[in-house]
Amino acid sequence: MFSCAICEEFSLYNLCNDCRVIRHITTLNGKKRVLEVLNNVFQRCEEKQDNKMNEELKCEIENKKVSLKNSQLKRGSNLN
């Protein structure tokens, strides 16, 4: 048994399953962006957290739309 490198709970590996998901999200979005979201959402009083979460969600949805559009454009240009 190991102690998870992030949450320090006991795990069969150096990262538990939950923290493996966190690492995957960090790999996809970049450490800087993940930290920015965590700081914006969790370092506020509770009533302001909801507003900030909604803002961050909107921002993530917009980012995904842009990257989806870009990948569709790329695919389209590969067909020509």
Q: Which of 2, 3, 7, 63 binds Zn ion (CB under 5 A)?
A: 7
**Touching Zn ion, residues 18-57 (CB under 5 A):** 19
User: In 6-45, where does DSSP find H-type helix?
Assistant: 17-29, 31-42
Q: How many residues bind Zn ion (CB under 5 A)?
A: 5
Q: Which residues are CB-neighbours of 3 under 8 A, at least 6 positions away? A: 9, 10, 11
Nearer to Zn ion, 6 or 53 (CB): 6
Residues that bind Zn ion (CB under 5 A): 4, 6-7, 16, 19
